[in-house]
Amino acid sequence: MTDASHHDGSRRSLTRQVPGLVVTEHEVDVPLDHQDPGGEKLTIFAREVADPGGRDRPYLVFLQGGPGSEAPRPTRLPSSPGWLDRALVDHRVLMLDQRGTGRSSPGSATSADLLARSPQQQADRLALFRADAIVADAEVLRERLGVERWSVLGQSFGGFCALRYLSVAPHSLSSALFTGGVPPVGRPVDDPYVATYATMAERNRRYYRRYPEDLDRVRRLHDLADAQALVLPDGDAVTSRRLRSIGSMLGMSDGAEHLHHLLERDPASPAFRHDLAAAMPFGGRDPLYSVIHEACYADGGTTRWSAQRVMPEQFAEDRTWFTGEHLFPWTFTDARELAPLAAAADLLAQREWPRLYDEEVLGSVDVPCAAAVYAEDAYVDRELSLETARLVPTMRTWVTNEYEHNGLRADGGRILDRLIQMVRGTA
């Protein structure tokens, strides 16, 4: 049932009742380039989710991981995402579709409009889809909604956005919560990749200790890849090097089991082919995840295909070792849906990036902050996260080995409750 709509030229909103929730859909127009406010515009979409009795509660803005993924699509019966019930006790939740995702325009980094441009034009446009632009979009939305301050919850890359928020607009925040997403500050982009390779090395050792029979299965799959006999439903012949990328699953709490269950399938079966395609971290479903992935770590400087340059000898020599969230130049040639972005991705890898974070501002922040830092996180390194946390005088950290990078999805209610108690000083 539709309750109300609002349109004032700067914001368009529609409210409706759904089972257990009141949902308001907001659209605002923002500059493609916030340095050029009179130029081309994008539409940013956000879904406000409230308990039927909680429509006047303060906002909690959820900043999705990625980059390049839309916000969750919420339901109440059952509660999804799993942390939503806990959030709605104290807040209205605003789920932001970051630019280039979901219902925000453009809806894809492989849109016809983008692909019609030259590689340099593509790169210049895609450079405007990092955390700095996402936070600027959020600020436009906050102002249009007439909100003085709100809280943010950043998961993974969403935490990178939250730290950017603290660097440029701490006055707009009442609290900042991080889950597996406190980024390195002022570090060369190589540092997080060196750290995550070390974590992935241990994950490979653990995996083959748990499932030693899978070593022969992996070798057979590589042989099939060499013979171009490992073909996905979209027609892509999986290369040996692309096959290794399914190790990204090992960064999740249930990842080893999901990987094993994939590998025990018959490689000739349709089920295997479809499940293998779903296990590939970089592909056509979320092209922004690939094309600006290394750039999201660039707090200044250039990336120059960092994951390829710093790959350890063990990974280079033994192809049975799975890689993790590591992007390579060939990612854009081995996946046909990414191939149109290959030249632009290379230009972005050579680009000199501006700083995302400001140590001086972070050092004077008075916004209550709390972070769940996962002790063995394969995506966002613990030590680099703690180094950054020490820059923020109000940042309280909860270092735990109870969860992996997907902790918020695995046990979101408990994690969010603890973070809320931490910023209140009651935990």
- pLDDT per residue as tens digits for the range 300-330: 999 999 999 999 999 999 999 999 999 999 9
Rg (CA), the chain: 21
pLDDT range class, residue 105, cuts 50, 70, 90:
confident
The per-residue pLDDT for 4 is 60
Same domain, 66 and 138: yes
The per-residue pLDDT for 111 is 78
Written as one letter, the residue type at 49 is V
| pTM, to two decimals | 0.96
Q: How far apart are CA 251 and CA 415, in angstroms?
A: 18
Least confident of 68-77, 86-95, 162-171, 177-186: 68-77
Same domain, 256 and 118: no
Same domain, 30 and 171: yes
The per-residue pLDDT for 369 is 98
- Contact assessment for residue 388 and residue 182, using Cβ atoms and an 8 Å cutoff: yes
pLDDT at 2 over 60: no
What residues have CB less than 8 Å from 331, skipping those under 6 apart? 242, 245, 282, 290, 338, 345
Same domain, 45 and 173: yes
- CA separation (Å) from 177 to 133, 196, 331, 398, 417? 20, 23, 33, 11, 11
Summarize the confidence of residues 148-160 as an average pLDDT. Answer: 98
Same domain, 233 and 382: no
Same domain, 326 and 179: no
CATH code for the domain in which residue 136 is found: 3.40.50.1820
pLDDT at 115 over 70: yes
Least confident of 68-77, 168-177, 352-361, 370-379: 68-77
Same domain, 134 and 275: no
Same domain, 337 and 419: no
The per-residue pLDDT for 234 is 92
The per-residue pLDDT for 6 is 66
Least confident of 67-76, 104-113, 233-242: 104-113
Structure tokens at 116: 């019609």
Summarize the confidence of residues 149-161 as an average pLDDT. Answer: 98
pLDDT at 1 over 50: no
Same domain, 69 and 161: yes
The per-residue pLDDT for 377 is 96
Of 324, 349, 374, at which residue does a domain stop?
349
DSSP output for 389-420:
HTTSTTEEEEEESS--TTHHHHHHHHHHHHHH
Same domain, 224 and 330: yes
* Domain span including residue 364: 2-186+357-424
The per-residue pLDDT for 227 is 97
Burial of 147 (0-12, 13-18, 19+ CB in 10 A): middle
Q: Is the previous residue joined to 81 through a cis bond, with omega within 30 degrees of 0?
A: yes
Same domain, 94 and 123: yes
> What's the whole-number average pLDDT of the chain?
95
pLDDT range class, residue 113, cuts 50, 70, 90:
confident
Same domain, 123 and 41: yes
Summarize the confidence of residues 183-194 as an average pLDDT. Answer: 97
- Contact assessment for residue 414 and residue 386, using Cβ atoms and an 8 Å cutoff: no
How many domains does the structure of the chain reveal? Answer: 2
The per-residue pLDDT for 3 is 57
Of 300, 319, 349, at which residue does a domain stop?
349
pLDDT at 82 over 90: yes
Tens digits of residue pLDDT in 206-228: 999 999 999 999 999 999 999 99
Of 312, 332, 349, at which residue does a domain stop?
349
- Contact assessment for residue 252 and residue 230, using Cβ atoms and an 8 Å cutoff: no
- Adjacency order of strands within the sheet including 41-50: 2-7, 11-18, 21-31, 41-50, 92-97, 59-63, 150-155, 173-179, 369-374, 395-400
Tens digits of residue pLDDT in 12-35: 999 999 999 999 999 999 999 999
- Contact assessment for residue 199 and residue 377, using Cβ atoms and an 8 Å cutoff: yes
pLDDT at 241 over 60: yes
pLDDT at 7 over 80: no
Q: Which residue in this structure is represented by tokens 């929730």?
A: 21
The per-residue pLDDT for 77 is 85
pLDDT range class, residue 112, cuts 50, 70, 90:
confident
Q: Where are the alpha helices (DSSP H) in 190-286?
A: 190-210, 214-226, 240-243, 255-263, 270-279
